[in-house]
Structure 1
Amino acid sequence: MIVGKRSFRLGAIALALVVWLPHGAAGAAAPAPAPAVAAPAPTGIAAELRTLAISAAAVTTRGSRPYDERDWLARFYIARGYAPAWQDRGYKQASAALSLLQNAGVHGLAPAEYNVDGLARQLADPALRTSARFDAGLTQAMLHYLADLRVGRVKSEYHTSLPDPRLTRTDPVDQLRTALLSQRLDQAVAASEPRIPLYRRTMATLATYRKLAEQPFTALPPLPEGVKKLEPGASYAGVATLRARLVQLGDLSASAPAEPAKAGIYTDALADGVKRFQARHALNDDGVIGAGTLAALNVPLTRRVRQLELGLERLRWLPDFPDGRLIAVNLPSFRLWALELGPGEKNPLIEMRVIVGAAVKTPTPLFVGSMRYVEFNPYWNVPRSIEKGEIIPKLARDPGYLGKNEMELVPLAGGAPVSTVDAATLDGLRAGQYRVRQRPGPRNALGAVKFAMPNTDNIYLHSTSAQSLFKRGRRDLSHGCIRVENPTGLAKFVFGDQPQMTPAVIETLMKPAPMKTVSLKKPIPVVLFYSTAVTDREGLALFPEDVYKRDPALEKMLKVRSDAIAQLR
């Protein structure tokens, strides 16, 4: 049945509905409108569509979707005088709409949530396809589909208010109305997709993994477990299965040398394939098979398909970004992409490894902001949480800790920084009368450069002197900020529209010197997102571990929505 989810909106829509109501339905005390003003009451299918629209708009509670669509049918059909939308000759528009809905799976969406089978049965039945129920049902399904593509199926962590501002700027009702007039429903669908290039690449990967999951050799037996440290040259009972799986996933060429005559040997050729697999799964890419690598190799392809579907949902949460430069960081992949959105884009321009907040204590939050300036040879203003949890205990044990680490105390009431600590100064630090900062230099935790994007969480991107940490597979090691592998390359990217900031100037500014702040000519959007399945610039599927354990929560939200929709039918 057709059920909406929002109290009827006052204004033009409400007035229009009142005009169409029969005498007395708007209240006994209301005088009948003058004959010259009153619109003729709709009859037949138009009257039925009006009734369905009124019923949808009058529902008092909002449903499980992240948008409020209760007035959509009313707004759509009022503009048409309640004329049906899908009764063209040969039902070509209805057939095109159903084809698009049936293909929703390419976006990781579920066709069943749009009642595709039910609508297809109605379209095939001459008696049902001319009904108001079919017409309104197909309209509602298409509106939901466009909105789901636009903002996702569940409330995102970036847009918490209703209505979602993206639906204010791109109204699915207007989109569908325009698409019907132009007979290009496919254009409305394409316009609703996220603009970030990662989305299309992840769609392509989903199609690939769906095909892999359907093929007979998907049913390879699990690799034998109990392996603690399998190195090249060692014997392993699962060698044949390992080779087949690496070939299946594209990490090993089918023409790669097979095992030597002596069967069961883990060869160097297999190890090379394992290294590629490990790199894609945020594991130490050393070719040594341990428990983590073995567990990742044994993940069913159906699970990888589901991860890609969840990844597409998360990409639909992202806000609209204008044409121009964009910096995107996927936290579980420990990767940063620098992109250029707009005509003629070639993306990404830069890709690099990053270090993010530790999962146990200081996970990096999801975030959308703007990079506005860069500090070369920055001070590190130590967060209060680190002062309390780390600095103060160390100072209590070693009063010389500040000097050994190029740190100083800055009086909050003003005055010169303090580099020596006595009992009174330590008590003042405990009481919040000082803040700790680390001076620029080789020991500075931020390294040579800090990319600032003002926000309440005090999260930013910065370099680091601990370059060896980027060789690790799992890199959730920071206190919450993002450490970047190639700070010079990122600096060249963000200053790409400032001719005076030449590569030579940037490299000079990154050498030890007093701190210097340089503003960006134009702020650059920065998004920190989370996806356990995404595709890199080479088209390789990345399946990092769910380090922050966010996938189960998203699965639960999607199930609640799916169950709620099923109960309405």
Structure 2
Amino acid sequence: MTVTHPGRPALFAGCWRACPRLVIGLFMASVATASWAAMPERLLWFAQTGPTPASERALHILSQASADGLAASDYTVEDLRAAIANSMRSGVQNDERVARLDRAIGTAIRRYLSDLHGGRVDPRQFAIRYSRSAELDQVIDRHLEELAGEGATDARTSRHLPSALPYRELRQALADYRGLIGNEAFRQALPPLPGGRLRPGQPYSGTALLARRLALFADLPENTATTARYEGKLVDGVKSFQARHGLYPDGVLGKETWVQLEVRPEARLRQIELALERWRWLPYREAQRRIVVNVPEFMLDAYAAAADSGKPALSMRVIVGNARKTRTPLFSGEMRFVEFSPYWNVPPSIAQSETLPRLRRDPGYLARQGFELVTSEGKVLTALSEGDLEAVARGQMRIRQRPGASNALGDIKFVFPNPDNIYLHHTATRQLFKRERRDFSHGCIRVEAPVELAKFVLAGDAEWTRERIVQAMRRGKSMTVRLGETLPVIISYSTAVVRDGRVHFLPDIYGYDAMLGEALQRRSAALQGEAARLRKLGIESSN
């Protein structure tokens, strides 16, 4: 069956996809003028005898929107329920008001499905460059048709929900933390730490309360016995908690761990809701092979199967852009090349701010670091003069670093062309991967296990064995390999993730959670204003 009104498919299908706010405005105008009355249409949610079972299923689904981190008030559920009740009191046959109400239900459920599968706000307003899923419109239409159909399943089923494992895990985490709200273990603060730091074996008056909180977080078995000292399983529980919150798991209860333990479930709930919103933005969710970097987690996951089938085939630590100076941009792209023993072409910004001042102070730095100058004609210079430095400053020459042990890119580079010239690469400073917080780069992403990543990327070519990959990396001569098929790469940002079945909460290193939270609040406020205008225009009017 079709779910758009005959003769007006562009209004509630194509136009909604292009600009939901415009559709709402057009819908309001249609109600005000009552021009719909003269136009033929088929009701989707009403029959001659009253509202159909499909309408009740739709309203039930909308009322449960909070289970997915959405707000039921965004879909005017209570207004629609009241309007249906009024329509029943006044009779439905040939009733123009019921036709308007039918359209209002359709608008609400379409908005919900669009929010659920594509997100509530456009990531581009945060300078996030994600390609839009080509299947999103078809997904929304398919679910709308199923919900409105006579053979629709019971409202309690979840066929309309995203099926991907990361989504399902976050959704369950949302339910778990919602269940913690109001628990007595959070009604009082933990007692102050003796000396500001609690080490294993020290006495502590808060061991019982600490154990209850850790048990609620699933970091400690329920009913774990405690003593007057911080010891035993309680220390193990704190280590588990630290590992899930981006902290070094040493079991020492210091200021940072203390702060995280005092975060209330309501705040964690909000983090998970933001994570669900960001997941809905992600492109390439159905791609079998893809690489996803989560910036605040400092992790890379490589998937070899569809998102609904499970776990990453490969995971590794990464180093990302510095939070204060050189943040890694968020975008999606397609990996096309692998470059072994790469040259590093020093970006102009780094050359101006770092390399040129160093060369002026210490000309020998050029040779020690394996740098060379390249003219606009491609001529390579290994000697240095003041005129050469001025040419670099004017953009008439560039600095590049030869392949070798000191090369900033290490011995391999994974290229997915993008306007910011961001790529994945190895690094000579491997010790930095041992840090819990790893935002040290100029924006590019350094990978901990380059050989394993190269094996994953080149898996379709049997000639690229591990031995050949290592040989090419150590060769010292630059070689570029074009991939037989491009590989999607997504640079993402989520401060709540589920890894190995356990929810992790991460520092908001770039401060993006607050920005997204404010945007969602503005959006909900705007929708509330539209709902008020809807009521004023008579959708909810009684007889």
What TM-score, normalized by structure 1, do the two folds share? 0.80
Q: Which amino acid aligns with 1:105?
A: S
CA contact (8 A) 2:320 2:439 kept: yes
Q: Deviations over 1:220-247 (max 9, x none)?
A: 5345368654332334443333222222
- Sort the Cα spacing of 1:98 and 1:169 in 2 relative to 1 into closer, same or farther, 3 A: closer
CA contact (8 A) 1:176 1:185 kept: no
CA contact (8 A) 2:341 2:476 kept: yes
Q: Quick one: which of 482, 501, 510 aligns to 1:548?
A: 510
Q: Which amino acid aligns with 1:562?
A: S
Give 5+ residue unaligned stretches, structure 2. 31-35, 93-97, 533-543
Q: Deviations over 1:88-110 (max 9, x none)?
A: 57731111111211221121001
Partner of 1:243: 211
User: 4+ residue runs of structure 1 moved beyond 6 angstroms?
Assistant: 71-74, 158-161, 189-192
Work out the CA distance in 2 between the residues paired with 1:256 and 1:471.
32
Work out the CA distance in 2 between the residues paired with 1:520 and 1:272.
45
Work out the CA distance in 1 between the residues paired with 2:322 and 2:128.
26
Residue 184, structure 1, aligned to residue 152, structure 2 = yes
5 Å matches for 1:101-112?
A: 101-112=62-73
How far 1:142 moved relative to its partner? Answer: 0.6
Partner of 1:82: 41
User: Percent identity among equivalent residues?
Assistant: 39
The alignment partner of 2:491 has SS state of: strand
- Sort the Cα spacing of 1:405 and 1:292 in 2 relative to 1 into closer, same or farther, 3 A: same
Q: Which amino acid aligns with 1:97?
A: A
Partner of 1:505: 468
Q: Quick one: which of 269, 286, 290 aligns to 2:233?
A: 269
Partner of 1:355: 319
Q: Deviations over 1:530-564 (max 9, x none)?
A: 1111212x111111111101111111111111111
Partner of 2:262: 298
Work out the CA distance in 2 between the residues paired with 1:186 and 1:498.
48
Q: Deviations over 1:276-301 (max 9, x none)?
A: 22222122233233322211111101
Partner of 2:365: 401
Partner of 2:74: 113
Q: Which amino acid aligns with 1:309?
A: E
Work out the CA distance in 2 between the residues paired with 1:478 and 1:186.
51
Work out the CA distance in 2 between the residues paired with 1:530 and 1:175.
28
Q: Which amino acid aligns with 1:521?
A: G
Work out the CA distance in 2 between the residues paired with 1:197 and 1:128.
46
Partner of 2:339: 375
Return 420-429 or 126-135, whichever deviates more.
126-135
CA contact (8 A) 2:339 2:479 kept: yes
Q: Which amino acid aligns with 1:516?
A: M
- Sort the Cα spacing of 1:208 and 1:343 in 2 relative to 1 into closer, same or farther, 3 A: closer
Residue 136, structure 1, aligned to residue 103, structure 2 = yes
Partner of 1:204: 172
Q: Which amino acid aligns with 1:136?
A: R
Give 5+ residue unaligned stretches, structure 1. 1-12, 18-49
- Sort the Cα spacing of 1:179 and 1:240 in 2 relative to 1 into closer, same or farther, 3 A: closer
Partner of 1:221: 189
Q: Deviations over 1:46-95 (max 9, x none)?
A: xxxx9xx99x99x9xx98x5785666899xx99x9423211257731111
Residue 560, structure 1, aligned to residue 519, structure 2 = no
CA contact (8 A) 1:66 1:152 kept: no
Work out the CA distance in 2 between the residues paired with 1:320 and 1:129.
48
Residue 279, structure 1, aligned to residue 246, structure 2 = no
Query: 1 or 2 for the larger relative contact order (CA 8 Å, sep ≥6)?
Result: 2
CA contact (8 A) 2:331 2:492 kept: yes
What TM-score, normalized by structure 2, do the two folds share? 0.84
Work out the CA distance in 2 between the residues paired with 1:429 and 1:238.
62
Work out the CA distance in 2 between the residues paired with 1:214 and 1:87.
41
How far 1:524 moved relative to its partner? Answer: 0.8
How far 1:141 moved relative to its partner? Answer: 1.1
5 Å matches for 1:285-434?
A: 285-342=249-306, 345-416=309-380, 418-434=381-397
- Sort the Cα spacing of 1:176 and 1:361 in 2 relative to 1 into closer, same or farther, 3 A: same
CA contact (8 A) 1:212 1:301 kept: yes
Q: Which amino acid aligns with 2:359?
A: L
Q: Give the number of aligned pairs.
A: 508
CA contact (8 A) 1:495 1:501 kept: yes
